[in-house]
Structure 1
Amino acid sequence: MSRTTLDTAALAHDLRLAVMRFSRRLRNQRVDTSVTLTHLAALSTLKRHGPMSPGELAAHERVQPPSMTRVVVALEGMGMVTRTPHPTDGRQVIIGLTPAADELLSAEARAREAWLSERLHELAPEEREVLREAAVIIDKLASG
């Protein structure tokens, strides 16, 4: 194995562990722990892509439709989503966000960004600049 391959493998290992630990810490900055991470993921998908059927939501979240049905029922019980008749298929419904869900998602984002902002202020300006550049590179990796 070449030195470049070994260096790349070591970087992949170190980056994977760092991103996993960072993601875990960021996820732990929660406002409302009664809403699970699965619930938040479904709400975030609805916020990003707009109202959709439970089947479409399941496909976006890469889960089986019966699992998403349970998530939707729980979210509806919490007052986080609404069900409206599908405009063209009377057998289906469209799931949309309530104002309470919008506020929850905003509060969750604010909490995580506040935590991250505090951590970033602890770094030297040069380190923050490296992270600014790394954010672009990580986004490029995630997009590919």
Structure 2
Amino acid sequence: MNDLAPSALRASQDVRTVFGRLRRRLREVDTGGGLTPSQTAVFVRLAKDGDSTASVLAAAEGVRPQSMATILAALDAQGLIERRPDPEDGRRQLITLSAEGRERAAGDRETRREWLARRLHEDFTEAERQTLIDAAALLERLVER
């Protein structure tokens, strides 16, 4: 790593830190859903990644299977998920968002998009917003490599 420019090392750390904080902040935006943080994490994972099993969700979230069962029961009670037999293994169930869950996920995304746009509108100048647009293009180039 000694052959890397100090600015590359600094940019690497700053980008990771800021994106992590932004992601956490967006999760904190109140969407009016009343879900606990762990329920929200599972709900968002299902919305983003699609169907899953309880054991895969538990491993991904770093919780015990019993804790995941409690989380899924709460999401089920609110009508946000559906369970169906796994076509590859009838002993397992696939968890997916229900129609209501998909509708809510879309609404939550819109609420977060509006929050971010409002913050950018109210807290940044036009020149600063343009700088962010330019930086996003550079970051897109980074992820395309």
Normalised by the length of structure 1, the TM-score is 0.73
2:105 is the alignment partner of 1:105? yes
Which ranges of structure 1 fall in alignment gaps of 5 or more residues? Answer: none
- Per the alignment, residue 37 of structure 1 pairs with 37
**Conserved 8 A contact 1:40-1:105:** no
Give the residue type in structure 1 aligned to 2:108. E
CA distance in 2, matches of 1:96, 1:36: 19
Matched residue of 2:91: which SS?
coil
CA distance in 2, matches of 1:64, 1:48: 19
Matched residue of 1:90: which SS?
strand
- My pick for the range that moved more, 94-103 or 38-47, is 38-47
User: Could you tell me how far 1:49 is from its partner in structure 2?
Assistant: 2.5
Which ranges of structure 2 fall in alignment gaps of 5 or more residues? Answer: none
**RCO (CA 8 Å, sep 6+): is it higher in 1 or 2?**
1
**Conserved 8 A contact 1:46-1:52:** yes
CA distance in 2, matches of 1:24, 1:9: 23
- Per the alignment, residue 128 of structure 1 pairs with 129
What is the RMSD computed on CA atoms of the aligned residues?
A: 3.1
- Per the alignment, residue 81 of structure 2 pairs with 81
- Per the alignment, residue 119 of structure 1 pairs with 119
Give the residue type in structure 1 aligned to 2:55. G
**Conserved 8 A contact 1:46-1:96:** yes
Matched residue of 2:90: which SS?
coil
